[in-house]
Amino acid sequence: MALGLRAVAAIAAGRGADDHLPERIDSVLHGLGLPLRAPFDRSAVRTALLTDKKRDRGRQVWILPMAVGRVQEVDDVTDLELDRAMATITATP
């Protein structure tokens, strides 16, 4: 869950979220001892997204944190945005 939060924060940052939100999220996650990066198979993540509970009418719905206490629901995250988000959370094995 921590990695997913970091990923959507990265997407939100590219869409006008509060400038300091990703760093605030990282600080909280780090303080809780949660990982900020991990090795994983990006293609497996893409496959898993096809059956995610937030899919609606064939589209992936994303909940983006835009500021503390404010989110935005979108269904138009691009492949490039997803690739960049996964790059922020991927660690090399």
Give pTM, 2 decimals.
Answer: 0.88
* Residue, of 40 and 27, whose pLDDT is higher: 27
Instruction: Give the tens place of pLDDT for each residue, 44-83.
Output: 998 888 877 777 787 889 999 999 999 999 999 999 999 9
- List, in order, residues 6 or more apart from 10 with CB less than 8 Å away: 22, 84, 85, 88, 89
Beta-bridge mates of residue 56: 59
Residues 6+ apart with CB under 8 A from 7: 85, 86, 88, 89
